[in-house]
Homo-oligomer: A and B are copies of this chain.
Amino acid sequence: MFGSTFGNLFKITTWGESHGKGIGVVIDGCPAGLPLCEEDIQTYLDRRKPGQSRFTTMRKEADRVEILSGVFEGKTTGTPISLMVKNTDQRSHDYSEIANYYRPGHADRNYDIKYGFRDYRGGGRSSGRETIGRVAAGAVAAKMLKSLGIQISAYTLSIGPVAINKEKFDLSEAENNPLYMPDAEAAKKASDYLETCMQEQNSAGGMVECMIIGVPAGIGEPAFEKLNANLGKAILSIGAVKAFEIGDGIAVAQSDGLHNNDAYCADEAGHITKKTNHSGGITGGISDGCEILFRAAFKPTPSISATQESVTRAGENLDISIKGRHDPIIVPRAVVVVECMAALVILDAMLAGMTSRFDLVQKFFRELY
């Protein structure tokens, strides 16, 4: 339960802090026989690595993943898969200043109180580099899901005040701009907005949306392990996320039953579909076979160069200006993190779902095993 383990059947445990020797993850419960190589994982890591555009930190982190265990002759063996990314850009810094005060919007003070002291070199465990373990593990989950016919796509919905035009939504466009926005025009405007932020030594927030196609109906558990609850936990556990919406999300509070309910209809063959998808593909915590759609709100990067009021550990007021290489926005690099966390949740729920029906359990052992 101590924070660094996620999932039940496809269980991951991450480790590492921003300025230690590396960041890693151990995946336990990955079914045996899945073809897997470092490139499968590297592709995902490259999407979160810094230095991709002028809106991401210029830190040069190669972030090369190494498979340390659990893969033999190109396939997973069923035993733990240990993945590691070494921290290479550990310049010798003078951290004495940052060690002494608390950065607003960061967890510095909370760590000091919780643990009695903290690793003050750049955020330690609360650094965004912690997400490397999530992405590496999520890449493996996503690969397996693809083999099961499931596709997960996250993208940027808005940056500061600039939102995409839903009518111009083009998923393929998201890969063409460094902001991962599925609307070229909005991407251009957002780009301009970020330039202004940077000039003002300020930072911006934004929204990420995630679309999951191909999940069969019946996935997720009632009560506390609802599929949406686990997606929510997964996404809200990403450092800067302050809100999570599924389907129509916050708008349902102002809707009414007649409009919010998704009517069913059947075609002539008796095949049942929903006429709308206000629910975002999940009702009662269980997938209904439609597209799963959720959103997350990311706060602006807390590290900014503009002057801020803060205090020292000893309780003295001071003005600070955070130096260093910081992203003016977290969102573009977080898109792949959202996608990976979703993959971990969906795969875990699908594996758990294999035991929901006695007749299928019986058939499994009689016919497949």
Give the contacting residue for A351; candidates B23, B200, B361; CB below 8 A.
B361
**How extensive is the interface on chain A, given as a class?**
35 or more
What would 21 A/B residue contacts be, using CB atoms closer than 8 Å?
A: A1-B29, A1-B221, A3-B225, A4-B222, A8-B8, A13-B13, A15-B26, A17-B77, A31-B358, A78-B111, A79-B222, A104-B261, A113-B289, A160-B254, A202-B258, A229-B233, A257-B302, A258-B308, A260-B299, A264-B309, A266-B317
Within residues 219 to 233 of chain A, which ones have a CB less than 8 A from any CB in chain B? 219, 221-226, 228-230, 232-233
Contact indicator A22/B68 (Cβ below 8 Å):
yes
Within residues 173 to 204 of chain A, which ones have a CB less than 8 A from any CB in chain B? 197, 200, 202-204
Q: How many identical subunits does the complex contain?
A: 4
Known: A8-B8, A217-B113. A119 touches B77 (CB 8 A): yes
Contact indicator A118/B77 (Cβ below 8 Å):
yes
Q: Does A359 contact B (CB under 8 A)?
A: yes
Contact indicator B233/A309 (Cβ below 8 Å):
no
Contact indicator B33/A250 (Cβ below 8 Å):
no
Contact indicator B225/A229 (Cβ below 8 Å):
no
Q: Does A265 contact B (CB under 8 A)?
A: yes
**Smallest beta-carbon distance A174→chain B, Å:** 17
B residues in contact with A9, CB < 8 Å: 1-2, 352, 355
Kindly report which residue of chain B lies nearest to residue A276, judged by CB atoms: B104
Q: How far is the CA of A32 from the CA of B110 in the complex (A)?
A: 14
Q: How far is the CA of A221 from the CA of B114 in the complex (A)?
A: 9
Known: A117-B32, A223-B125. A257 touches B300 (CB 8 A): yes
Chain B interface: which of A42-50, A164-172, A238-246? A238-246
